Chains A and B, each alone.
Chain A
Amino acid sequence: MASNFYRILSSKRNVGILSLVGAGSITGAVLLRREHVTASAHVRRTYPASAEYPDLRQHNNCMASHLTPAIYAKLCDKSTPNGYTLDQAIQTGVDNPGHPFIKTVGMVAGDEETYEVFADLLDPIIRERHNGYDSRTMTHPTDLDSSKLHSGLFDERYVLSSRVRTGRSIRGLSLPPACTRAERREVERVTVDALAGLSGDLAGKYYSLTQMTDAEQQQLIDDHFLFDKPVSPLLTCAGMARDWPDARGIWHNNEKTFLVWINEEDHTRVISMEKGGNMKRVFDRFCRGLKEVERMIQEKGWEFMWNEKLGYILSCPSNLGTGLRAGVHVNLPRLSKDPRFSKILDNLRLQKRGTGGVDTAAVGSTFDISNLDRLGQSEVQLVQTVVDGVNYLIECEKKLEKGQDIKVPAPPKGN
Chain B
Amino acid sequence: MPFGNTHNKLKMNYSSDQEFPDLTKHNNHMAKILTPEIYSNLRDKETPSGFTLDDVIQTGIDNPGHPFIMTVGCVAGDEETYEVFKELLDPVIEDRHGGYKPSDKHKTDINPDNLQGGDDLDSNYVLSSRVRTGRSVRGFCLPPHCSRGERRAIEDLSIQSLDVLDGDLKGTYYALKNMTDEEQQQLIDDHFLFDKPVSPLLLASGMARDWPDGRGIWHNEGKTFLVWVNEEDHLRVISMQKGGNMKEVFNRFCTGLTKIESLFKDRGHEFMWNEHLGYVLTCPSNLGTGLRAGVHVKIPNLSKHESFGEVLKRLRLQKRGTGGVDTAAVGGVFDISNADRLGFSEVELVQMVVDGVRLMVDMEKRLEAGQAIDDLMPEQK
Interface residue ranges, A against B (CB under 8 Å): 14-17, 30, 32-35, 37-38, 40, 42-45, 47-48, 51-55, 58, 79, 82-85, 87-88, 91, 94-95, 110, 174, 177-183, 185, 210, 236-237, 239, 241-244, 246
Q: Per-position contact with A for B98-130: 1 when CB-CB < 8 Å, else 0? A: 000000000000000000000000000000000
Q: List 17 A-B contacts (CB under 8 A).
A: A14-B18, A35-B44, A37-B46, A40-B48, A47-B149, A47-B150, A51-B149, A55-B210, A83-B9, A84-B7, A174-B4, A178-B7, A180-B54, A181-B20, A182-B11, A237-B209, A243-B22
- Picked from B9, B21, B79, B147, the residue with its CB within 8 Å of the CB of A181 is B21
State which of B137-145, B162-170, B226-234, B347-355 sits at the interface with chain A. B137-145
Is the CB–CB distance between B46 and A85 below 8 Å? no
B2 within 8 A of A: yes
Closest Cβ neighbor of B272 among chain A residues: A42
5 more A-B residue pairs beyond the given contacts A83-B9, A85-B1, A183-B10, with a C-beta to C-beta distance below 8 A: A32-B8, A55-B213, A79-B7, A83-B7, A84-B7
| Complex A-B, nearest 4 residue pairs according to Cβ-Cβ distance, in ascending order | A83-B7, A178-B4, A47-B149, A182-B14
- Per the CB 8 Å criterion, the residue count for chain B at the interface is 53
Q: What separation, in Å, do the CA atoms of A265 and B41 have in the docked complex?
A: 32
Residues of A within 8 A of B4 (CB): 84, 88, 110, 174, 177-179, 239, 242
Interface residues of B in 243-282 (CB under 8 A from A): none
Is the CB–CB distance between A54 and B46 below 8 Å? no
Q: What separation, in Å, do the CA atoms of A32 and B6 have in the docked complex?
A: 9
Q: What separation, in Å, do the CA atoms of A33 and B78 have in the docked complex?
A: 19
Known A47-B149, A180-B14: A246·B2 in contact at CB below 8 Å: no
Q: What separation, in Å, do the CA atoms of A54 and B148 have in the docked complex?
A: 7
Is the CB–CB distance between A244 and B62 below 8 Å? yes
Q: What separation, in Å, do the CA atoms of A45 and B146 have in the docked complex?
A: 10
Q: What separation, in Å, do the CA atoms of A30 and B203 have in the docked complex?
A: 29
Q: What separation, in Å, do the CA atoms of A30 and B79 have in the docked complex?
A: 26
Q: What separation, in Å, do the CA atoms of A48 and B148 have in the docked complex?
A: 11
Known A37-B80, A95-B209: A82·B21 in contact at CB below 8 Å: no
B235 within 8 A of A: no
Is the CB–CB distance between A40 and B80 below 8 Å? yes
CB distance from A58 to the nearest CB of B (A): 8
| SS class, residues of chain A in contact with chain B | loop
Closest Cβ neighbor of A245 among chain B residues: B22
Closest Cβ neighbor of B63 among chain A residues: A244
Residues of A within 8 A of B179 (CB): none
B177 within 8 A of A: yes
Residues of A within 8 A of B83 (CB): 38, 40
Query: Which one of A15, A79, A178 has the highest number of Cβ atoms from chain B below 10 Å of its Cβ?
Result: A178
Is the CB–CB distance between B203 and A210 below 8 Å? no
Residues of A within 8 A of B177 (CB): 55, 58
Is the CB–CB distance between A246 and B48 below 8 Å? no
Closest Cβ neighbor of B208 among chain A residues: A95
Closest Cβ neighbor of B177 among chain A residues: A55
- Picked from A16, A37, A53, A178, the residue with its CB within 8 Å of the CB of B48 is A37
Residues of A within 8 A of B149 (CB): 45, 47-48, 51-52
Known A32-B9, A45-B150: A88·B79 in contact at CB below 8 Å: no
Known A88-B3, A242-B62: A236·B203 in contact at CB below 8 Å: yes
Q: What separation, in Å, do the CA atoms of A83 and B7 have in the docked complex?
A: 5
Residues of A within 8 A of B78 (CB): 42, 44
Known A17-B13, A180-B10: A54·B213 in contact at CB below 8 Å: yes
B28 within 8 A of A: no
Q: What separation, in Å, do the CA atoms of A244 and B62 have in the docked complex?
A: 6
